[in-house]
């Protein structure tokens, strides 16, 4: 217990330090000294209007993705599960892209969020149905492949039928995944859903722990698996749906973070939830800071940078798993 | 603190009324009626596909029969809320899965799930876990990663998991499968000791007829979803019943330490 608090405290401190760095770092370096002069310094606007929303969103989105990954891995008892791999993010993207295609995003921005969250929740539900009650690793991955395929086909269709080149450009830009130029409005739209979804997922600890013994084992311990499934779909739907809606596709956070945290919490799926949220926030913050500092004409997209790191990580994970199974 | 009402309520038997389960048009259980008594170790035997595991799952309240019901304290088990049911009935699935590399103590602690709250294990929970580890002689391995245990150690750890829940009924599906003779005896000893406690009872499905004959208090023989014998071991496992259940000719012979089942050959051959 104390070890867990120590871990959470350490990670929390890391997030705080990175948040401070995130407010300072970028094309224009804003040191501590500029903060105290408040409104007199022109850089004040950079901090509070550009970097503060960006920092808050990085923390929220990272926490949502890390937590979603930990919850999905716990439920499926599969260390390869993650909103991206299992097609939940793609389904959220499909929902969001549909509102962009219909140009509803400009008039009613909240619609994009609702569509993304419905897409994500639907994605989890379809995945659970496809994989069935006794889903093994392979069935879950195949379910993810199906969802990813269907969702990307839908996105491609929307792109090819886009009413104007600008609409297509908007969709592509958004799909690449970024935290740049997000406003306080975006924060207020995404944050409540991310907080609510995370709250729901944090309630799953007992059930996920019991699921260590399989579905029959968990039911024998008095766990209501139907309720667990509904909570998982709602929690992941709200949190990762709202995240995708505000940042586009940022993959691998939900895959990498629980994997790194697992040995630190004694491999317990329930104890993994909170540290994965905090570590996810730290990872996305750190990645977003690096992306901002990359010396290139246009900023490297966060989603692209994450995939560049996450792909090889996924591969290494797969190889080490294969070795253990062999 | 032990629940003081435990002994009184735990005195009651587990009763199956006319259980019927159909799967894809085939009757897996066809009107099974039996009473499982506290203080006894009851073995359910029968050929593959006879419905042993289905019967056990119905008894544990994990499967809803198409007709009939299972009663505990004269209340249908399915009417109990899942947590209450889990506190009363400990269930050990066949080939239990352990998905993550948790240590033995954590695994055994999962047995406390129906007792513990969201805040984790209380002092009473930890005491029950320690007691279960002692009973199964797993204390020395408490901090070992479950995935590194041998088959026998793993079986003991999983049994400790059920015992930690302090149920009044222990229902085990093929608990001896894959264990060597020494570990089989250890497991049976543990279950006999459990059943001997006030208000406790054990029901297990078994493949090994010799173990059923020697170590059970009562044997139920299932064939095609129907009970064809329900009696003390020597009265249940008669040559006639064995022929009807398994299609084999067998004799009950006197061994050095008690009766033995001697297989002669296929019936009708």
How far does A223 lie from chain B, in Å, by closest CA?
A: 7
For A73-95, the DSSP string reads: HHHHT-TT--TTTTTHHHHHHHH
At B142, is the pLDDT very low, low, confident or very high (cuts 50, 70, 90)? very high
B60 interface with A at CB cutoff 8 Å: yes
Nearest to B53 by CA among B155, B154, B171: B171
Q: Is residue A44 part of a domain?
A: no
pLDDT over threshold 70, residue B6: no
Classify each residue of A305-317 as buried b or exposed e, where b means 16 or more C-beta atoms within 10 Å of its C-beta.
Answer: bbbeebeeebeeb
* CA separation for the pair A74, B86 (Å, rounded): 21
A227 interface with B at CB cutoff 8 Å: no
DSSP state for residue B35 in the 8-state scheme = E
Q: Is residue A40 part of a domain?
A: no
Nearest to A243 by CA among A13, A88, A127, A104: A88
Q: Is residue A33 part of a domain?
A: no
Q: Is residue A21 part of a domain?
A: no
* Mean pLDDT calculated for residue range B218-237: 95
pLDDT over threshold 60, residue B269: no
Q: What's the mean per-residue pLDDT of chain A?
A: 88
B113 interface with A at CB cutoff 8 Å: yes
* Mean pLDDT calculated for residue range A101-119: 82
For residue range B248-260, what is the model confidence (pLDDT) as tens digits?
Answer: 999 999 888 888 8
pLDDT over threshold 90, residue B31: yes
For residue A214, give the nearest of B89, B97, B114 by CB distance: B97
* CA separation for the pair A46, A281 (Å, rounded): 22
pLDDT at A1: 61
For residue range B80-137, what is the model confidence (pLDDT) as tens digits?
Answer: 999 999 999 999 998 888 989 999 999 999 999 999 876 778 999 999 999 999 999 9
Q: Is residue A193 part of a domain?
A: yes
pLDDT over threshold 80, residue A321: no
pLDDT at B217: 96
More confident position, A236 or A24: A236
- Whole-angstrom CA distances from B157 to A57, A198, B104, B109 are 45, 34, 7, 11
Considering A45-49, A128-132, A172-176, A242-246, the range whose residues carry the highest mean pLDDT is: A242-246
Query: How big is the CA angle at B71 (ends B67 and B76), to the nearest 5 degrees?
Result: 70
Whichever domain contains A62, its CATH number is 1.10.3470.10
Which ipTM was obtained for this model? 0.89
A312 interface with B at CB cutoff 8 Å: no
* CA separation for the pair B210, B212 (Å, rounded): 5
Nearest to A64 by CA among A207, A209, A191, A248: A191
Q: Is residue A2 part of a domain?
A: no
pTM of the model: 0.90
B142 interface with A at CB cutoff 8 Å: no
The torsion defined by the Cα of A223, A123, A68 and B120, in degrees rounded to 10, comes to: -10
Query: Which domains can be identified in chain B, with CATH numbers?
Result: 6-97+168-237 (3.40.50.300), 238-269 (no CATH)
- How many Cβ atoms from other residues are within 10 Å of residue B11's Cβ? 15
At A326, is the pLDDT very low, low, confident or very high (cuts 50, 70, 90)? low
pLDDT over threshold 70, residue A229: yes
Q: Are strands B75-76 and B67-72 parallel, antiparallel or unpaired?
A: antiparallel
| CA gyration radius, chain B | 19
pLDDT over threshold 90, residue A194: yes
At A35, is the pLDDT very low, low, confident or very high (cuts 50, 70, 90)? low
Q: And the tokens for B6?
A: 């435990």
For residue range A136-156, what is the model confidence (pLDDT) as tens digits?
Answer: 667 888 888 999 999 999 999
How far does A213 lie from chain B, in Å, by closest CA?
A: 5
Tokens 């406003």, residue located: A183
Helix and strand counts by DSSP (H, E) for chain A: 16, 0
Interchain contact, A206 vs B101, CB within 8 Å = no
pLDDT over threshold 80, residue A32: no
Domain membership of residue A174 as a residue range: 51-325
Contact (CB, 8 A) for B108 and B160: yes
Contact (CB, 8 A) for A238 and A196: yes
Q: Average the pLDDT over each of A201-215, A289-303, B3-17 and give the range with the smallest value.
A: B3-17
pLDDT at A309: 83
For A221-244, the DSSP string reads: TT--HHHHHHHHHHHHHHHHHHHH
Strands of B52-112 (E only): list them.
67-72, 75-76, 89-92
* Mean pLDDT calculated for residue range B70-79: 92
Residues from chain A contacting residue B107 (CB–CB below 8 Å): 212
The count of structural domains within chain A is 1
* Mean pLDDT calculated for residue range B163-169: 96
Nearest to B62 by CA among B78, B47, B48: B78
Q: Are strands B14-23 and B67-72 parallel, antiparallel or unpaired?
A: antiparallel
Q: Is residue A28 part of a domain?
A: no
pLDDT at A178: 85
pLDDT at A176: 85
Q: What's the mean per-residue pLDDT of chain B?
A: 90
For residue range A41-79, what is the model confidence (pLDDT) as tens digits?
Answer: 677 777 777 889 999 999 999 999 999 999 999 998 888
Q: Is residue A34 part of a domain?
A: no
Q: And the tokens for A294?
A: 């990359």
- How many Cβ atoms from other residues are within 10 Å of residue B258's Cβ? 12
């Amino acid at each position: 217990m104390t070890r867990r608090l120590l871990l959470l405290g350490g990670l929390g401190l890391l997030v705080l330090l990175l948040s401070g760095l995130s407010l300072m770092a970028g094309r224009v370096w804003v040191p501590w000294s500029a903060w105290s002069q408040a409104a007199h310094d022109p850089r004040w606007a950079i901090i509070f209007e550009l970097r503060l929303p960006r920092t808050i969103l990085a923390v929220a989105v990272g926490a949502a993705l890390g937590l979603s990954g930990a919850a999905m891995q716990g439920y499926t008892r599969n260390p390869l599960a993650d909103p991206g791999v299992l097609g939940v993010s793609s389904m959220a993207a499909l929902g969001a892209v549909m509102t962009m295609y219909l140009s509803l995003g400009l008039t009613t921005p909240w619609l994009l969020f609702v569509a993304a969250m419905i897409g994500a929740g639907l994605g989890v539900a379809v995945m659970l149905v496809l994989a069935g009650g006794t889903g093994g690793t392979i069935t879950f991955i195949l379910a993810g492949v199906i969802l990813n395929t269907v969702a990307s086909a839908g996105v491609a269709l929307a792109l090819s039928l886009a009413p104007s080149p600008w609409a297509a450009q908007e969709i592509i830009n958004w799909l690449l995944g970024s935290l740049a130029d997000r406003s306080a409005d975006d924060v207020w739209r995404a944050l409540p859903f991310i907080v609510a979804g995370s709250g729901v997922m944090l309630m799953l600890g007992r059930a996920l722990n019991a699921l260590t013994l399989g579905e029959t084992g968990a039911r024998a311990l008095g766990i209501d698996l139907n309720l667990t499934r509904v909570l998982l779909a709602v929690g992941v739907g709200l949190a990762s749906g709202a995240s995708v809606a505000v940042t586009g596709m940022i993959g691998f956070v939900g895959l990498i973070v629980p994997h790194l945290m697992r040995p630190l919490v004694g491999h317990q799926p329930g104890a993994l939830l909170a540290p994965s949220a905090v570590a996810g926030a730290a990872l996305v913050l750190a990645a977003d800071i690096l992306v901002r500092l990359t010396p290139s004409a246009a900023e490297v997209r966060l989603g692209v940078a994450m995939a560049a790191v996450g792909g090889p990580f996924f591969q290494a994970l797969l190889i080490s798993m294969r070795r253990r199974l062999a | 603190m032990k629940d003081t009402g435990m002994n009184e309520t735990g005195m009651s038997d587990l009763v199956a009324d006319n259980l019927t389960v159909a799967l894809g048009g085939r009757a897996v259980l066809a009107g099974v009626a039996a009473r499982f008594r506290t203080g006894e170790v009851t073995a359910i035997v029968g050929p593959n596909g006879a419905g042993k595991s289905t019967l056990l799952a119905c008894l544990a309240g994990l499967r809803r029969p198409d007709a009939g019901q299972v009663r505990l304290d004269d209340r249908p088990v399915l009417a109990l809320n899942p947590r209450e049911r889990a506190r009363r009935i400990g269930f050990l699935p066949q080939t239990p899965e352990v998905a993550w590399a948790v240590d033995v103590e954590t695994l055994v602690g999962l047995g406390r799930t129906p007792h513990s709250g969201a805040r984790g294990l209380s002092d009473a929970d930890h005491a029950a876990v320690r007691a279960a580890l002692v009973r199964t002689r797993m204390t020395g391995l408490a901090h070992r990663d479950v995935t590194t245990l041998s088959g026998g150690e793993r079986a003991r750890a999983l049994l400790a998991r059920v015992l930690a829940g302090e149920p009044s009924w222990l229902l085990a599906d093929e608990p001896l499968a894959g264990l060597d003779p020494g570990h089989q005896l250890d497991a049976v000893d543990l279950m006999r000791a459990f059943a001997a406690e006030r208000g406790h009872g054990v029901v297990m499905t078994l493949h090994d007829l010799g173990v059923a004959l020697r170590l059970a208090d009562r044997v139920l023989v299932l064939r095609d979803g129907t009970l064809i014998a329900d009696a003390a071991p020597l009265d249940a496992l008669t040559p006639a019943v064995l022929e009807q259940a398994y299609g084999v000719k067998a004799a009950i012979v006197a061994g050095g330490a008690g009766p033995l089942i001697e297989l002669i050959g296929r019936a009708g051959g």
